[in-house]
Structure 1
């Protein structure tokens, strides 16, 4: 099993997108990329911790490749919006790929270049690519939030 961590706006919808993929064995929503230990949702929302709302994925690379997960990442949000997704605004909603290995870093960078060259977007891609740091699992009521409410997407 391997791990992947992505930030693409509100973590509820991003988690829902990845949970349906064969080979994804577990997902959780949480906070990463910040400077405060054990942040809470209200702290992350006030923008002072530096964390992004993120989804951490445990996957079987024999069933789904990291490159395939990257494709889903690009499809489930607008990577040209800096520090926002739709009506959600703030650094916690930034677009970011948090790599766990040199191979993931290389794949993420190649994937970003491919997206930029695809001319799919009218604006430059704002997605950050950075090394995974401590990931803090969000409060339990955020886990599988949409699924618990019979919904499949946020907005």
Structure 2
């Protein structure tokens, strides 16, 4: 069985588990979006290149959305939070590795700010009120998280979480952690650029394509002409 097939079957299983665990609760919907305000604390950065590490559930959709953001130079799917020995999909999907499925974004801060990346993350990619789950996927490996790469990013992240929490944009409290950077491990080649290469995949159609559509609908000025590599 290929790694891609195992990944999809895992998503199908977690969807069934999520249905059982969330019976009687309002489930998260990937196509649900919230128009959030710009970050009030978002200092200008003059460097032409910076890196952001973010987690927001299955990395297919997170990568797929951010690769379409203007100012993004590259996006890669991977793992963050655990060690090198468990930085593989088959050891991450069971939730015991400590890793979250995450993306590493290289971007031009003069074109898109760190605060804007966070705004996009919580507007159309991930529900910041869910702990250790997103969409149909349940487990610590699917947690939403912000992983600042420096002190300024940490300040922006902390301030923005407080801003959207106090703004009453969500029915439940914002529970996204700000995690310390350890090391980002690039995922297997078949997981890279998965959304663009597999637009007809049923998981992509159901859960991830609506996120990209929401980006284009809510923030058309932030959408680049062709996806970043």
TM-score range for the pair, normalised by the shorter chain length? over 0.9
2:212 maps to 1:142: no
- The separation in 2 between residues aligned to 1:42 and 1:115, in whole angstroms, is 35
- Return the match for 1:23 from 71, 75, 83: 71
| Match of residue 66 from structure 1 | 114
- Residues 60 and 77 of structure 2 are in contact (CA less than 8 Å); yes or no, is this contact kept in structure 1? yes
SS of the residue aligned with 1:64?
Answer: coil
| Match of residue 57 from structure 2 | 9
2:148 maps to 1:99: yes
Moved over 4 A (4+): 151-154
- Residues 77 and 192 of structure 2 are in contact (CA less than 8 Å); yes or no, is this contact kept in structure 1? yes
Larger radius of gyration: 2
Instruction: Count residues with an aligned counterpart.
Output: 155
Structure with more of its chain in strand, by fraction: 1
SS of the residue aligned with 1:72?
Answer: helix
- Residues 51 and 104 of structure 2 are in contact (CA less than 8 Å); yes or no, is this contact kept in structure 1? yes
For residue 153 of structure 1, report the CA deviation from its aligned partner.
Answer: 5.8
- The separation in 2 between residues aligned to 1:58 and 1:38, in whole angstroms, is 24
- The separation in 2 between residues aligned to 1:94 and 1:28, in whole angstroms, is 17
TM-score normalised by structure 2 residue count: 0.65
SS of the residue aligned with 2:85?
Answer: coil
CA distance change for structure 1 residues 69 and 63 in 2, over 3 Å: closer, same or farther?
same
- The separation in 1 between residues aligned to 2:83 and 2:191, in whole angstroms, is 21
Structure with more of its chain in helix, by fraction: 2
- Return the match for 2:90 from 22, 26, 42: 42
Unaligned runs of 5+ in 1: none
| Match of residue 89 from structure 1 | 138
| Match of residue 23 from structure 2 | none
Unaligned runs of 5+ in 2: 1-48, 208-229
For residue 46 of structure 1, report the CA deviation from its aligned partner.
Answer: 1.4
For residue 37 of structure 1, report the CA deviation from its aligned partner.
Answer: 3.3
| RMSD between superposed Cα atoms in Å | 1.4
TM-score normalised by structure 1 residue count: 0.95
- Return the match for 1:116 from 161, 165, 169: 165
For residue 35 of structure 1, report the CA deviation from its aligned partner.
Answer: 3.5
- The separation in 2 between residues aligned to 1:130 and 1:88, in whole angstroms, is 20
